């Protein structure tokens, strides 16, 4: 078992890659009352075209199948997963994102028992045609519920404006129509391809002895038959280097309009520290321009263009990237025009050194504070690990980031033909 120390953070991260390819990370937190574990596969909603394990040809599967599979893994032939966790005082959950599916639990005792339950239930699938058909009705209702949600429609509305064919534009749950062709056999095929240990990562954080926990995981995996598999060939559509729709409007039964501006990232196959550095730089730029302490934010607030729903986010992965800024407004046209004008000015903007350092130091402080939360570390760790970098690298990148780095990212990223506007307006 290897370990890496982060003296500045007073953290020691243990790591071992097992014979079957499973990557195990352990982060002991002496004195912490709560333990948290995540068992994650590098398989999300965008992975709808790939070569299944044991085959040689690319296959296109129905949109939403990764999310469908997440739901079905909780169903067992002879026991209830949630009851099993509850019997050992643990709370469990799962989620599917664009790029990963994560199963997790938190507990204050009986870590070994709960960790065994987590690993075993994820590694013992049970699907039948009858239960799959039943699940289609449940997920279809979930999809319809989100279709009536204005925030959800606005979020995917702006992403659809940015991307032409990339599956990131499709709801993670798929559509009512897309989930209909899903069968038990298809679920097993996706499961055996993406839930192989070599495509998964186990992360445990809490007050425990790392050697004892690693021994538990080693013995658990040694009792199961897995041969280490090769990397899964995946395929994503080629995207144009611009936003495919400059502006779109959707009318719904809402009282207050919503306006969002999106930016499409066109850099391909970015990984590791390069990817993380760009994401952090864009986040800092947004903080400088649109943060609650910025002059622009105060101006928009005074004009009544924005309210406390105004927000921004950046999502960078190796296969795609985008940023979104906006919120509710009584002046959709005015806010849309103002945001676009501001975004177009960023590429040539001269950033203030003192403001840059203030925002950077603020981010360092927030990150250090967040490290007191086992939930934060556990939920964020896998995302960064799958992109080839440790979560704790954030601090090093933040401290080394210069205002020159910021200027270069602003020039490369904030390009006018990659912008798009989405307005959600009340029905006339």
Q: Where are the domains of the chain?
A: 2-223, 247-426
2-223: CATH topology is Cytochrome Bc1 Complex; Chain A, domain 1 (3.30.830)
Q: 413 CB contacts (<8 Å, ≥6 apart)?
A: 263, 265, 278, 282
Domain 247-426 adopts which CATH fold? Cytochrome Bc1 Complex; Chain A, domain 1 (3.30.830)
Q: Please provide residue 99's backbone torsions phi and psi, each rounded to the nearest 5 degrees.
A: -125, -5
At 245 the pLDDT is 98
pLDDT reported for residue 383 = 87
Burial 294-315 (b: 16+ CB within 10 A, else e): beeeeebeeeebbeeebebebb
pLDDT at 9: 81
pLDDT attached to residue 303 = 96
Whether 70 sits among the annotated catalytic residues: the reply is: yes
What is the reported pLDDT for 7?
80
From first to last of its 428 residues, the chain has per-residue pLDDT tens of: 898 888 878 889 999 999 999 999 999 999 999 999 999 999 999 999 999 998 999 999 999 999 999 999 999 999 999 999 999 999 999 999 999 999 999 999 999 999 999 999 999 999 999 999 999 999 999 999 999 999 999 999 999 999 999 999 999 999 999 999 999 999 999 999 999 999 999 999 999 999 999 999 999 999 999 887 889 999 999 999 999 999 999 999 999 999 999 999 998 778 889 999 999 999 999 999 999 999 999 999 999 999 999 999 999 998 999 999 999 999 999 999 999 999 999 999 999 999 999 999 999 999 989 988 999 999 899 888 998 888 888 999 999 999 999 999 999 999 999 999 999 999 98
| CB-count exposure of residue 263 (10 Å: 0-12, 13-18, 19+) | buried
- Angstrom CA distances, 37 to 64, 139, 381, stand at 25, 26, 11
Entry pTM? 0.94
Burial label, 322 (beta-carbon count in 10 A; 0-12, 13-18, 19+):
buried
The predicted pLDDT at position 3 comes to: 85
Q: What's the distance, Cα to Cα, between the start and end of the chain in Å?
A: 64
* Catalytic, out of 70, 135, 189, 317: 70
């Amino acid at each position: 078992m290897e370990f890496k120390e982060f003296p500045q953070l007073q953290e020691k991260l243990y790591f071992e890659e097992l014979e079957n390819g499973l990557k195990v990370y352990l982060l002991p937190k002496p004195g912490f009352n709560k333990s948290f574990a995540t068992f994650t596969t590098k398989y999300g909603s965008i992975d709808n075209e790939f070569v299944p394990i044991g085959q040689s040809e690319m296959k296109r599967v129905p949109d939403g199948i990764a999310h469908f599979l997440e739901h079905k893994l909780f169903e067992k032939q002879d026991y209830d997963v949630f009851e099993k966790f509850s019997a050992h005082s643990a709370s469990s959950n799962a989620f599917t994102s664009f790029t990963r599916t994560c199963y997790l639990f938190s507990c204050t005792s009986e870590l070994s028992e709960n960790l065994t339950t987590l690993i075993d239930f994820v590694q013992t699938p049970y699907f039948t045609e009858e239960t799959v058909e039943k699940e289609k009705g449940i997920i279809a209702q979930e999809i319809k519920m989100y279709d009536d949600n204005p925030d959800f429609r606005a979020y995917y509305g702006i992403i659809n404006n940015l991307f032409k064919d990339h599956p990131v534009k499709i709801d993670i749950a798929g559509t009512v129509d897309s989930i209909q062709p899903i069968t038990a056999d298809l679920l097993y095929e996706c499961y055996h391809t993406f839930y192989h240990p070599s495509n998964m990562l186990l992360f445990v954080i809490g007050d425990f002895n790392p050697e004892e926990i690693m021994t538990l995981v080693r013995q658990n995996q040694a009792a199961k038959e897995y041969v280490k598999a090769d990397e899964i060939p995946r395929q994503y559509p080629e995207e144009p280097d611009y936003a495919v729709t400059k502006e779109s409007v959707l009318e719904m039964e809402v009282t207050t309009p919503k306006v969002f501006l999106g930016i499409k990232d066109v850099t391909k196959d970015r990984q590791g520290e390069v990817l993380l550095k760009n994401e952090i730089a864009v986040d800092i730029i947004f903080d400088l321009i649109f943060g609650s302490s910025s002059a622009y934010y105060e101006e928009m607030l005074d004009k009544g263009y924005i309210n406390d729903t105004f927000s921004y986010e950046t999502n960078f992965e190796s296969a795609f990237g985008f940023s979104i800024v906006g919120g509710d407004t009584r002046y959709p046209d005015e806010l849309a025009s103002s945001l676009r004008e501001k975004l177009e000015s960023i590429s040539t903007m001269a950033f203030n050194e003192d403001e840059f350092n203030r925002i950077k130091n603020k981010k360092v402080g927030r990150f250090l504070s967040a490290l007191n939360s086992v939930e934060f570390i556990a939920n964020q760790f896998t995302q960064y690990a799958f992109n080839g970098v440790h979560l704790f690298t954030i601090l090093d990148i933040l401290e080394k980031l210069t205002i020159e780095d910021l200027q270069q990212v602003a020039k490369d990223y904030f390009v006018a033909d990659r912008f798009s506007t989405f307005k959600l307006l009340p029905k006339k």
